Amino acid sequence: MQPPRFWYRPPGFRSTLLSPLGAIYAAGTARRLAKGTPLKLDVPVVCVGNINAGGTGKTPTVIALAQRLQEMGHTPHIVSRGYGGSVTSAVQVNERIHRAADVGDEPLLLAAFAPTWVSPDRSQGAKLAVQSGADAIILDDGFQNPALHKDLAIVVVDASRGFGNGKVLPAGPLREPIETGLSRADLLLSIGPKKAQSHFVQTWGRPPCPHLQGHLTPLQTGMDWQGSRVLAFAGIGHPQKFFATVQELGAELVKSEALEDHQPLSQALMTRLESEARLLGAQLVTTEKDATRLPDEFRAKVLAVPVRLEIEDWSALDTALTRLF
């Protein structure tokens, strides 16, 4: 389900009307965090989370963080709730036997970069990861979950959308008030192009923690997209970002299909998209995350466009990571 448009407009009638419900939601989040007894592990836990509901760029951030820790000589494991998956107990993701329906699309993608565990109980997954040799845990999401003590908390935000209208669900896109969330954050990472970054700073000012800026860039795969006719589809938090990326590569976007976040790619849906692409003389393309949900018979028919996070200045993050060990 795509978010309501009024979430990303100045506060108006609807957001004001829903604000009391937002206060109740925020109070519930605060109570859950206050009642929890976080488990303190013998290895550092780095949480990559957000204040906004929906996609902000956590997955590419987790990938970049895992690679950074590996470059520093560490063995990070990733722990995820496995949104959209069916597993009910902690399991290490195995790309050869698991499907997105089992463990979720994001963990299936993350497992290509570091050992990844899916666990509804994050503390259980983290303990198993440590037993399996992890010297650091990257917690994918879970900023509002009290199960684990977080040694480093990174809040990720889309620079273009920012914190929307600044209201808490359902009055706005936030899981908790900005000040409350950022008071627990060690780093804020805004992701987007330079123009969006400037607008973010002008709108939201200086946060109470170090502020990193980064952007997503397509991974060079040797594919020449210039002039290619494509039908792009995406079931991520902000599909328009992906469609813009495809155009920036030089492809001719003859049609775009924005799906719901994590939407199942059913046989019927993919057959329809394949027929439309054939009629338009276009190549089907999607995101790296969506590609993990493709039915087997469509994997060779759809091209994925991988993106990676590039951070302008790693120094604050590197310093924070070094202090953990």
Place of tokens 């996070």: 309
pLDDT tens across the length of the chain (325 residues): 678 999 999 999 999 999 999 999 999 999 999 987 899 999 999 999 999 998 889 999 999 999 999 999 999 999 999 988 999 999 999 999 999 999 999 999 999 999 999 999 999 999 999 999 999 999 999 999 999 999 999 999 999 999 999 999 999 999 999 999 999 999 999 999 999 999 999 999 999 999 999 999 999 888 899 999 999 999 998 899 999 999 999 999 999 999 988 899 999 999 999 999 999 999 999 999 999 999 999 999 999 999 999 998 999 999 999 999 9
Q: Give residue 221's pLDDT.
A: 83
- Residue closest to 321 by CA, chosen among 147, 144, 136: 136
Residue 225's alpha-carbon distances to 22, 158, 209, 239, 248, in angstroms, are: 44, 26, 40, 19, 9
Q: What is the C-alpha to C-alpha distance for residues 242 and 258, in angstroms, rounded to an integer? A: 10
Return all residues near 20 (Cβ < 8 A) that are at least 6 apart: none
Residues 6+ apart with CB under 8 A from 186: 152, 153, 154, 209, 210, 320
Q: How far apart are CA 180 and CA 104, in angstroms?
A: 29
Among all chains, which residue has been given the structure tokens 């980064």?
A: 214
Q: Which residues are annotated as a binding site for ATP?
A: 52-59
Contact 253, 232 (CB under 8 A): yes
> What is the phi/psi pair of residue 177, to 5°?
-60, 150
The pLDDT of residue 1 is 63
Phi and psi at 310, nearest 5°, equal: -115, 125
Would you say the pTM of this structure is higher than 0.85? Answer: yes
What is the spatial distance between Cα 190 and Cα 196, in angstroms, rounded to a whole number? 9
Contact 185, 154 (CB under 8 A): yes
Segments in 141-294 forming alpha helices (H): 178-184, 194-204, 239-248, 267-280, 288-291
Pairing of strands 211-218, 307-311: antiparallel
